[in-house]
Amino acid sequence: MSKIRTDSLFETPQIEEVASGHIIRVAFESGVDSEFDYLVPDELWPVGTGQRVEVPFGRKDKLQIGFCIKADISHRETQRKFKLKKVARAIDKKPLLDEQLMELARWISSYYVCPLGQVLGAMVPAAVKRGAGVKTERHIYLSTTAEDFEQTLKQLRGRKQKQIVRFLQERAALNSRTALELQGALAAVGCTNAPIKKLAQQGIIEITQKTILKSLPAIPEGMTIRTEIVSLNDDQRKALTAINSGTDSGRFGVTVLHGVTDSGKTELYIRAIERALQKKKAAIVMLPEIALTAQTVQRFNARFDNIAVMHSGLTAVQRNSQWQKIKAGQANVVIGARSAVFAPVAQLGLIVVDEEHEPSYKQDTVPRYNGRDAAIKRAQLANAHCILGSATPSLETLSNCSSKKHFNLVRLPKRVMDLPMPQMKLVDLRLQYSAQKGVTLISEPLEEHLREVLAKKEQAILLLNRRGYSNFVFCPACKHILHCRNCDVTLTFHKSKLPQVRRTQTLMGRHMDYGYALCHYCGAQTLVPQTCPLCGKGMAMIGLGSQRLEEELKDKFPQARVSRVDSDSMARADYYRLLQDFSLGRIDILAGTQMLAKGLHFPNVTLVGIISADTCLYLPDFRSNERTFQLISQVAGRAGRSVKKGTVFVQTFLADQPAIRFALAGDFEGFVKEELKHRKSCNLPPFWRLAVVGMRDRNFEKLEAASKTMRERIDSIIGQENLKAVVRGPMPATISRIQRFHRMQIIVQAPQAQTMMKLFSRLRSGPAVRPAVKVTTDMDPVNLL
């Protein structure tokens, strides 16, 4: 637990002793891992848990906003009865978070080792906190009666005051019902605020305030979507029975829905939600951000009347109005990305997490929570049911199915309508390269097939998990590689249309266009030098990137319509437009990064090519096999989503790699068995828990010293508490420097979550590590770079 302090160290003497009154406990968003008690003046009472207040803080009593995390604390409970500072202002009229979300916040704070105030801050969208789109309208009316009117008028001195009073009287603005809008009245009379103030002080007029929230529709309109009700197949029916018995029980439970792409999972989510709504309960559906396309949202919108959406594509005003709609109980289905797990739904009956294996559910800034695991926790707190759906469930989830009694696994092994799975073709690039002359991204077999597809007026998706043009800029003569000045990574070459950058040559001797070298970690850009800064010879590019893929396609298929999708090439709106164009057949080949692998439905796509299945495998991460398997399976699901037969090409240099072999055979069970063997032998998740303590500083000596101290602390707690855990490090992180910060990490492995909790709760309650460096704790990390 974090420390509880009363902020009384720097009190000035004017603060009186307190014998009575309400005390609340406040946590700040700023990141202090302590909580502070304050006295609430009677006129501000009641203040509830989950409500924000403004309070004086620190030596200078600077006003700060914090969340009330406990209301009405007894005087005995607060450690210092005296000299409590007073709450200055209540920000919200009502609590933003209910008791259930507060409890979820406490869990996240303790499990993910993050100050409670920071968690609370992250739970409420910024747009809500600053009231985006909220307008205050003021209205005025006369508080005198008609009889007293003349008398009142006589008393008045100011000419403007008289004018206003007349104006109100003429319009019979005598009570709050017929009040006039203030600004309009002022404009009509032609006066400033001052006379109004005077009149109000004398009690002649009254001013009322009304807050109005602009509400903007957040759901795209005008897309046609098929809405006919299908009848479920046998597998679906069995699965739905299992889910419904969970929802009906009114008790917490998890159904893991393992179904291949197109097996009808989404249809089941919809049915399960219908059931929950019948029981007067609400539902939350979580999707990876990128899958939150207009297509998906429309599909739910076509089946439910009151849905709200929460995703990054909304404007601030939309975000606030959607949140308020949920809070007011006007939406009973919420669809959103990771943060939808915090939707202020009151009567929660069901949470669906689609693509539960997705690493993007893990937030990579504080609080570093996993949206899926928070969803499970929330379902538990709400006595609700949780569905985790995936074509390739994570090993953690599978292992929960066999070890936890409230987890239940159901399968949808077939595509609906018995569509065949696509044909999988392996292209061994080692053989290709020895036979071919130059280095190309599209192998001969893939090129040939692509030609056939184009000839038949069908469509193709090509996937390359790397942005830019090439990921190394180097000198063939002296082997010098361009590195980022600030980070320990190589620079990626990006082509640009800007003419100010000089020409360089590729390995193949072709002239490059203009471009710049970009660091994908800190965003630093440099011009690509024409000649090597060390030896003066010409620079060259190697490695692959989506820009280069696009170029090669345009070279090889000049008549085809090719579009590239990656985070460089587009904003979200353009992305949707492009998908729309693709579905209307205006684009033949879509080439891009993993943005393309998720949740899209294009019946005319008969070819999917994975340009390099190896990009994940080179990463030093224990989940790289799992990611590779998931990527290939996911992408395979994009092909042949109709009666037309689909083909998937998987290009690789590592044709013997088990993850690739199993993925090609569509053998999920085989892959899991093999991978679990490896994880078990190394005490890795899902068998043991993993946490990474990351430390960074610009000064390496300081960092080294602090890291050593951190290790000693960890060891001493483990010793004192007699915990079973394995600790490794401190060692340099895989990317040992980012933005000029050197990075070290300590990896902790423990068989039990409890052990981790014990270790980290003691670690955080101790004093800060010296010398002071930046410390982060990542529990259940999904990325070890």
Of the candidates 352, 142, 189, 186, the one whose C-alpha atom is nearest the C-alpha of residue 267 is: 352
| Residue 736 binding Zn ion, by CB under 5 A | no
Identify residues 500-519 at the interface with Zn ion (CB under 5 A). 519
Identify residues 351-380 at the interface with ligand ADP (CB under 6 A). none
Closest contact distance (angstroms) between CB of 252 and ligand ADP is: 24
Identify residues 281-340 at the interface with ligand ADP (CB under 6 A). none
Which amino acid is it at 17? E
| Residue 487 binding Zn ion, by CB under 5 A | yes
| Residue 522 binding Zn ion, by CB under 5 A | yes
Label residue 693 left, alpha or beta by phi (over 0 means left) and psi (-120 to 50 means alpha).
beta
For ligand ADP, which residue of 2, 6, 109, 263 counts as binding (CB under 6 A)? 263
With vertex at residue 692, the alpha carbon angle to CA 482 and CA 358, rounded to the nearest 5 degrees, is: 80
Instruction: Return the one option of Zn ion, ligand ADP, none that residue 781 interacts with (CB less than 5 to 8 A, by type).
Output: none
| Residue 482 binding Zn ion, by CB under 5 A | no
| Residue 173 binding Zn ion, by CB under 5 A | no
Instruction: Please provide the size of the chain in residues.
Output: 785
Closest contact distance (angstroms) between CB of 296 and ligand ADP is: 9
Question: What separation in angstroms does the CA of 294 have from each of 302, 312, 499, 779?
Answer: 12, 13, 37, 33
3, containing H or E segment = strand 3-5
End-to-end CA distance of the chain: 29
225-233, 319-327, 730-738, 771-779 -> range binding ligand ADP (CB under 6 A): 225-233
For ligand ADP, which residue of 25, 85, 265, 378 counts as binding (CB under 6 A)? 265
For ligand ADP, which residue of 8, 49, 215, 233 counts as binding (CB under 6 A)? 233
282, containing H or E segment = strand 282-286
Closest contact distance (angstroms) between CB of 481 and Zn ion is: 14
As a whole number of angstroms, the distance between CA 108 and CA 45 comes to 29
Of the candidates 263, 232, 235, 225, the one whose C-alpha atom is nearest the C-alpha of residue 637 is: 263
710, containing H or E segment = helix 700-721
Closest contact distance (angstroms) between CB of 228 and ligand ADP is: 8
Closest contact distance (angstroms) between CB of 735 and Zn ion is: 9
x/- letters, 399..428, toward ligand ADP (CB under 6 A): -----------------xx-----------
As a whole number of angstroms, the distance between CA 777 and CA 385 comes to 30
Residues 6+ apart with CB under 8 A from 177: none
138-146, 398-406, 407-415, 476-484 -> range binding Zn ion (CB under 5 A): 476-484
Closest contact distance (angstroms) between CB of 185 and Zn ion is: 58
As a whole number of angstroms, the distance between CA 55 and CA 441 comes to 60
Instruction: Return the one option of Zn ion, ligand ADP, none that residue 521 interacts with (CB less than 5 to 8 A, by type).
Output: Zn ion
Sheet holding 525-527, edge to edge: 492-495, 515-518, 525-527
Give me the half-sphere count of Cα atoms (radius 13 Å) on the Cβ side of residue 589. Answer: 30
For ligand ADP, which residue of 29, 33, 267, 778 counts as binding (CB under 6 A)? 267
Closest contact distance (angstroms) between CB of 294 and ligand ADP is: 15
Is residue 606 within 8 Å of 455, Cβ to Cβ?
no
Site size toward Zn ion, by CB under 5 A: 7
Burial class (CB in 10 A: 0-12, 13-18, 19+), 359: middle
For Zn ion, which residue of 284, 450, 484, 512 counts as binding (CB under 5 A)? 484
For ligand ADP, which residue of 78, 109, 236, 443 counts as binding (CB under 6 A)? 236
For ligand ADP, which residue of 230, 431, 534, 665 counts as binding (CB under 6 A)? 230
As a whole number of angstroms, the distance between CA 106 and CA 393 comes to 28
Of the candidates 454, 437, 364, 412, the one whose C-alpha atom is nearest the C-alpha of residue 738 is: 364
Instruction: Return the one option of Zn ion, ligand ADP, none that residue 264 interacts with (CB less than 5 to 8 A, by type).
Output: ligand ADP
Indicate the residue among 306 and 486 with the shorter CB distance to Zn ion: 486
Is residue 477 within 8 Å of 578, Cβ to Cβ?
no
Indicate the residue among 53 and 398 with the shorter CB distance to ligand ADP: 398
For 703, phi then psi, to 5°, come to -60, -45
72-80, 208-216, 262-270, 645-653 -> range binding ligand ADP (CB under 6 A): 262-270
Beta-strand pair 492-495/515-518 = antiparallel
| Residue 486 binding Zn ion, by CB under 5 A | yes
| Residue 259 binding ligand ADP, by CB under 6 A | yes
| Residue 654 binding Zn ion, by CB under 5 A | no
The contact set with Zn ion (CB under 5 A) reads 484, 486-487, 519, 521-522, 524
The contact set with ligand ADP (CB under 6 A) reads 230, 232-233, 236, 259, 261-267, 416-417
